[in-house]
Structure 1
């Protein structure tokens, strides 16, 4: 198994509410995470982490902007020192602290939205600063404003609820006074105003509800320290104090739900919290226990309780309407009604996912956000490695020597497709095949790299395909990392690995620093790295793969229509785009690394980039052509500005320094001092060559389109 993912959890509260129980249940259901915790308020949640052996630090943080900013600065320093793989911020307050801290520290961050609190401008800011978002209710996807928000539902509890008589005895020992003939209305919630507990108390004072007693199970919340006193005074003023009991927090309260005749989930807008539960865990647990639910409408809870076309599992009421709660209680005095609704609830909730499913989904999101897809997994699927060759006698033995030891699962194979070598490449591969039956050679004279890959994939025996190129040198665990990534829950159809560019001498070192992203920056991007890669350079992007290090499912390959065979270069990026367009997810696997030797001379590298540009032009892909066009325009503007005087020259020089700032920083970090003075020249040669190639490729595409009988074809880009 690859190492567990290192996760720093930031939690908003120290209380044990629904958001905290969601987190604990999922952490308890996976062994793929190495967790440490920062609590922004002390409370019993700290004891829960201590009981699990999870390191926990309390950093008390108020609600003011100054307090949150101070906590963010403190957390930023901690993250820079610890360098976890990813941060998980559980709740809005936690995200307000963790998202800016992680962004500044160069650590990727996922935040969890549990409800509708602070919907509005704050969501847009958190969406901008966070790399991923998890929501616990389907309607929160849009409310989060995050383009990558994923639903991870509150899981069904593991185990069995207590029998009714046993559960009632526990409540009696906890201070609930239950007289003969009384019906029990149960709430399980923190004591805060928006939970609507005052509406349940007020309903007890309405005519026809005298048989009902209310038991409030839940802790006081430091955010509203006077709420219990307010509710107690309300009960006394209404003359129902003798029928309202507060038990405080009870562990595994869901096991006590069979003691109730009805369960209330009555959230409402108060200006102090969310107006609706996203999906009330208590409602789900009550349904599983066969207890009718009284819940506020509209919202996901009421939709589940009163699903269209199905028998209702309870009764919906409008938020803040105690008289409607009273009507529901009067209706539920009928044992027949309660039994029918309880049975309907069990049927409706039976298929709800358990904690293992939700935990696997959460870990997948964390791993993909950290760019370490498959972390903590040991994949078992057989893989077909496909590589194309043509006159690669000088490097093929090294590639095969690195790949063959990685065939560790029964059914693994290597398919080498030769496009018409005139040296002894084929003889060398056949020698490997004679020693190991898992190596096969296919002959495809005249086939380009796309056609060769497609031929190899068609001949492959497995549904999981990996590709690399001759001249690339996979790390010893390259295939294992891709295999583990394919074992994720709801695995991506496209798994994009990474490459590390090597060079010899100042020029090739400079080319590597200028032209290609760095695996470490993919995992831990600093603020300027994020900005530079987005607007001036490039980053590893799961949707823009390279054939040097990639894996995909056969279904994704088929849906994409294979690699585009009319392109000589730039075919792999458009292949990835076609996979995504066909509805498959893409995930980056920054641990699946290959080394790639840079071309030895500046002239050869310029020719390579010219051919890359041709592929961009032939593909007519807006992103690729846009980048090439922007570079061409920038150089033309710089050339026009230089003769215009000192001010224009200073502005041009400043723009150039900004453009090469990250490559220069990389050179300093790697102590490539001889590459520093060459970087601006190398950047210009690369950009001009690629822009020229793009122009030529676009012209050739236009000529082909005008040619008589020209056939349109799909394109790919690298």
Structure 2
């Protein structure tokens, strides 16, 4: 099978530790990119030196861009704008690529009508916290018609990128979701490449987990993405908060009952998704759900307020 030439795009910032696993997985691909462009948003660690070293050893051309102060959307746009080839593949330095990833995610472009290829990402979960997080927060399958590929595993034509207006540089979070929605809005043809897999390590701490979901929800609020889903989350959390406040002021004896019900629901959900796991994993379920849903609620409310006051409206 003959593959068309492709430009591999990666945006980085302070990724020195992750590059030690990511870059070898790029060099180990069964199909090399015609060129690789890495844009650095202004790293203050050893990222730039690590990239220069990789450039000198890579078995394919590597171009490095330094864009001090650029967010991930601007970094990607600048790299895509300088790409020599009509198809670009996007991934993230926080991942490890399967050896066949680039070959599989570019193969569908042999058909001229294909404009966007969605790849898969599989969670890497070594600790109990990571295993429970993956089970409770990641969709079990991308095989549904409206799957929106993450910037961890996607490829598209430069023509489609231009049609969608590029990544939204006014968004610091959730830029890949907004870009996907713009591609769909402009009628771009999507296909799924199920064998195009990257491995994505889950957050290692509760603080990192909060930051991940708070940032994503804030970006969705700024972009007015998935408002109905967030309204549902907010309404559930509002009911829970009112129940707790009602218990505190009127029926304190109800508080233990409310807590037990929440814990049981959380554990049952975790057991359903991880039936072979034990209490070491399930015990994280109440904490994860509380942290994730609270972060999503607060992040989306803040993002919505920011959109109303200063953000660009979706579609403009």
Could you tell me the TM-score, scaled by structure 1's length? 0.40
Q: Residues 522 and 700 from structure 1, CA distance in 2 versus in 1: closer, same or farther, beyond 3 angstroms?
A: closer
**Aligned residue in 1 for 2:239:** 637
**Aligned residue in 2 for 1:189:** none
Which residue of the other structure, out of 138, 148, 155, is the alignment partner of 1:551?
155
**Aligned residue in 2 for 1:702:** 308
SS in 2 for 1:467: strand
**Aligned residue in 1 for 2:67:** 444
Residue 425 of structure 1: how far off its partner (Å): 0.9
- 1:590-615 Cα offsets, whole Å, 9 max, x none, are 22111111121112211221111110
**Aligned residue in 2 for 1:32:** none
Confirm or deny that 1:513 pairs with 2:135.
yes
**Aligned residue in 1 for 2:8:** 385
Q: Residues 522 and 613 from structure 1, CA distance in 2 versus in 1: closer, same or farther, beyond 3 angstroms?
A: closer
**Aligned residue in 1 for 2:223:** 619
Q: Residues 379 and 485 of structure 1 are in contact (CA less than 8 Å); yes or no, is this contact kept in structure 2?
A: no
**Aligned residue in 2 for 1:589:** 193
**Aligned residue in 1 for 2:174:** 570
**Aligned residue in 1 for 2:273:** 666
Q: Residues 388 and 419 of structure 1 are in contact (CA less than 8 Å); yes or no, is this contact kept in structure 2?
A: yes
Give the whole-Å Cα distance in 2 for the aligned partners of 1:547 and 1:589. Answer: 14
Which residue of the other structure, out of 198, 218, 230, is the alignment partner of 1:628?
230
Which residue of the other structure, out of 6, 22, 27, is the alignment partner of 1:404?
27
Q: Residues 30 and 100 of structure 2 are in contact (CA less than 8 Å); yes or no, is this contact kept in structure 1?
A: no
Residue 588 of structure 1: how far off its partner (Å): 2.2
Within 5 Å, which residues of 2 pair with 1:1-150? none
Residue 492 of structure 1: how far off its partner (Å): 2.9
Q: Residues 29 and 98 of structure 2 are in contact (CA less than 8 Å); yes or no, is this contact kept in structure 1?
A: no
Q: Residues 560 and 578 of structure 1 are in contact (CA less than 8 Å); yes or no, is this contact kept in structure 2?
A: yes
Could you tell me the TM-score, scaled by structure 2's length? 0.87
Q: Residues 379 and 564 from structure 1, CA distance in 2 versus in 1: closer, same or farther, beyond 3 angstroms?
A: farther
Q: Residues 713 and 630 from structure 1, CA distance in 2 versus in 1: closer, same or farther, beyond 3 angstroms?
A: closer
Confirm or deny that 1:415 pairs with 2:37.
yes
**Aligned residue in 2 for 1:607:** 211
Within 5 Å, which residues of 2 pair with 1:336-375? none
Residue 540 of structure 1: how far off its partner (Å): 8.6
Give the whole-Å Cα distance in 2 for the aligned partners of 1:640 and 1:428. Answer: 52
- 1:43-69 Cα offsets, whole Å, 9 max, x none, are xxxxxxxxxxxxxxxxxxxxxxxxxxx
SS in 1 for 2:103: helix
Give the whole-Å Cα distance in 2 for the aligned partners of 1:446 and 1:672. Answer: 45
SS in 1 for 2:17: coil
SS in 1 for 2:55: helix
Q: Residues 407 and 413 of structure 1 are in contact (CA less than 8 Å); yes or no, is this contact kept in structure 2?
A: no
Higher-Rg member (1/2): 1
Residue 666 of structure 1: how far off its partner (Å): 2.4
Task: Spell out structure 1 runs of 4+ moving beyond 6 A.
Answer: none
- 1:190-210 Cα offsets, whole Å, 9 max, x none, are xxxxxxxxxxxxxxxxxxxxx
SS in 1 for 2:70: coil
- 1:399-429 Cα offsets, whole Å, 9 max, x none, are 11111232635x6221100111122211111
Confirm or deny that 1:480 pairs with 2:121.
no
Give the whole-Å Cα distance in 2 for the aligned partners of 1:578 and 1:421. Answer: 29
Residue 546 of structure 1: how far off its partner (Å): 0.8
Within 5 Å, which residues of 2 pair with 1:207-606? 378=1, 380-406=3-29, 408=31, 412-436=34-58, 437-487=60-110, 489=111, 491-518=113-140, 521-522=141-142, 541-542=146-147, 544-606=148-210
Say which structure, 1 or 2, has more relative contact order (CA 8 Å, 6+ apart). Answer: 2
Q: Residues 540 and 505 from structure 1, CA distance in 2 versus in 1: closer, same or farther, beyond 3 angstroms?
A: farther
- Runs of 5+ in structure 1 lacking a partner? 1-377, 524-538, 706-711
Confirm or deny that 1:675 pairs with 2:296.
no
**Aligned residue in 2 for 1:136:** none
Aligned pair count reads: 306
Q: Residues 88 and 155 of structure 2 are in contact (CA less than 8 Å); yes or no, is this contact kept in structure 1?
A: yes
- 1:274-326 Cα offsets, whole Å, 9 max, x none, are xxxxxxxxxxxxxxxxxxxxxxxxxxxxxxxxxxxxxxxxxxxxxxxxxxxxx
